[in-house]
Copies of this chain bind each other. A is one copy, B any other.
Amino acid sequence: MLRVGVIGYGYWGRNVVRNFNGNDNVQVVAVSDLNADNLKRAQRLYPQVRVTADFRELITAPDIDAVAVVTPVNTHYELSKIALNHGKHLFVEKPFTETSHQGEELVELAEKKGRIVMVDHTFIFTEAVRKIKYFVDEGMLGKLLYYDATRVNLGLFQQDVNVIWDLAPHDFSIMDYLIQQKPKALAAHGMDHYGRGLCNTAYVTVYYDELIAHFNFNWLSPVKIRSTYIGGQKKMIVWDDLQNDEKLKVYDKGVSVEEDEEKVFAYRINYRLGDLWIPQLAAKEALATEIEYFVQCIAQGVKPINDAAAGLKIIRLLEATDYSIKNQGKIVNL
């Protein structure tokens, strides 16, 4: 039985507590939050759990094996450090840290302390992404050509982070998981329309060896969009996460170019226009899958795929994005 303490009982913290609580191999021991109403709500729903306004009580408690940090990003580093130093395993919200320097320190500390760190890149545990990953790994898509993601909606302007740190961790972690190549360079463009010092509309291009990835992030879209297009030489995928029954579409479409031997500059373009296939996806909550995996990684002493190093990779992409935007789209080698 893994004994867990959760710091932070806001919107996402509630989901984290609910899912830890729903796992048969986990006991939620304590919840802390600075907000009294949040604590009252936690107590009412989980009368058997200790609640406290002081995270220190929780983070040092000897009857807690693992700590979940579900707080604003500017507290992740400090809380994670304390937790690791007290020998706790760590489940920490994305983005991992505020800076790559902090991330590097935590990677090292986790190594030194021999503790499991999992960064909550929830999306890689969705049934859709797991299915795509399977297709990619099986070679079903052929060589990957482009990855094009749009994540936009109206508002929910964050007070402390820009649109990139808010939305990009999702897509960067999905891309990193699916593509499994080292990105070579990145460039980004954005605008801060309200003079808050935080850009609200951003476009990011990431160059891989023979693959181009692009991201559209916007807090000013009248409609919510969560779509990803993945083009392979053999098949192409459209993933629309807002669809209920047709989330994932696999197109048997492709383009190939044959060089005509007789004429040096002539090419023959071949198109393949085939059927469309929509695989059935299981209806499991991604966070539940992720938490099962967290418990299992701890039990078996195995590093998760979304460990501190994976979290750090995303922070480096976010920093590069910020740098590029501040320098009018300057290319950043990674």
Binding site for B on A (CB under 8 A): 45, 47, 145-146, 148, 154-155, 157, 159, 185, 187, 189-191, 193-196, 201, 203, 205, 207, 210-212, 214, 216, 218-224, 229, 231, 236-238, 242, 244-246, 249, 251-253, 255, 257, 267, 269, 271, 273-280, 328-331
CB pair B203 A203 closer than 8 Å: yes
CB pair A229 B236 closer than 8 Å: no
Q: A275-B279, A278-B275 are in contact. Are A331 and B331 (CB under 8 A)?
A: no
Nearest B residue to A231 by beta-carbon distance? B220
Q: Per a CB cutoff under 8 Å, which of B203, B229, B236, B246 touches A276?
A: B246
CB pair A146 B222 closer than 8 Å: no
- Listed by A's residue number, 29 A-B pairs whose Cβ atoms lie within 8 Å are A45-B45, A145-B193, A145-B220, A146-B191, A146-B220, A154-B271, A154-B273, A155-B269, A159-B267, A187-B187, A187-B328, A189-B205, A191-B210, A191-B211, A194-B255, A196-B267, A203-B214, A214-B216, A220-B231, A220-B255, A221-B236, A222-B236, A223-B245, A242-B244, A252-B280, A275-B278, A275-B280, A277-B277, A330-B331
| Copies of this chain, tallied across the complex | 4
Q: Which residues of B contact A214 (CB under 8 A)?
A: 189, 203, 216
Q: A154-B273, A157-B255 are in contact. Are A222 and B231 (CB under 8 A)?
A: yes
A238 to chain B, nearest CB (A): 6
A271 to chain B, nearest CB (A): 5
Q: Bound complex: CA of A191 vs CA of B216, how far in Å? A: 17
**Sample of 8 further A-B pairs with CB below 8 A, known A185-B328, A191-B210:** A189-B214, A203-B214, A223-B238, A224-B245, A242-B244, A252-B280, A273-B280, A276-B280
CB pair B274 A277 closer than 8 Å: no
Q: Which residues of B contact A211 (CB under 8 A)?
A: 191
A22 to chain B, nearest CB (A): 11
Q: A187-B189, A271-B154, A277-B276 are in contact. Are A203 and B201 (CB under 8 A)?
A: no
